[in-house]
Structure 1
Amino acid sequence: MTTTDRVQAPAGTIVGRRDGRVRRFLGIPYAEPPVGERRFVAPIRRGRFPRPYDATGHGATAQVVPLFDTTTIPEPSVPGDDVLNLSVVAPVDGEDCPVLVWVHGGGFLAGSPASPWYDGRSFARDGVVTVTVGHRLGVEGFAPLDDVPANRGLRDLLLALDWVRDNIAAFGGDPGRVTLAGQSAGGAAVLALLSSPATAGRFQRAVSLSGGFFEVAEDTARGFLERLGDRLAVPPTRDGFARCTRGRLQWHVRELRADEALVLGPYVGDDVLPVPVADGLAAHGHAVPLLLGATGDEFDGPATLEGARTAGTRRTDTLFRAACPRTAAARRHSPAGTWLYSFEWPSPATSGATHCIDIPFFYDVLDAPGVTEALGADPPAALAASMHADLVGFVRGEEPAWARATGTLGDPARTYGRPGAPFAADTTGVFDPVVGGAVEAC
Structure 2
Amino acid sequence: MSRFQFIRIRIIGLLLSGLGACLPLLAQTAVATPDTVRQSLPQLEQKFVERNFQLIAQRYQIDIADAAITQAGLRPNPNLWFQGNLYNPGTRKFLQYGPPTQADKDAGIYNSGYYAVQLQQVILLAGKRSKLVALAESNKSLARLAFRDIMRTLHYQLYTTYANLFYDLQGLNLFDEEIARQQRLLESYRIALRTGGVAAYEVTRLEVAIRDLQANSANYRTQIADDQATLRVLLRQPDKTFIMPTELPPLTTTLPALATALDSAQTNRPDIGLSQEQINNAQRSVALEKARRTPDLTTGLLFEKYGNAYNNFTGFQLAMDLPVRNRNQGAIRSAETTLKSVTGGLENQQIVVQSDVLNAYDKLNTYYAQLNARPDGYLDRIQNISVEATKAYNARTIGLLDYLDKIRTYQQAQLNNINLLNNLFNTQQLLNYTTNTRFF
Q: Say yes or no: TM over 0.5.
A: no
In terms of fraction of residues, the more helix-rich structure is 2
- Structure with more relative contact order (C-alpha pairs < 8 Å, separation 6 or more): 2
- Calculate the TM-score normalised by the size of structure 2: 0.18
- Calculate the TM-score normalised by the size of structure 1: 0.18
Max radius of gyration: which structure? 2
In terms of fraction of residues, the more strand-rich structure is 1
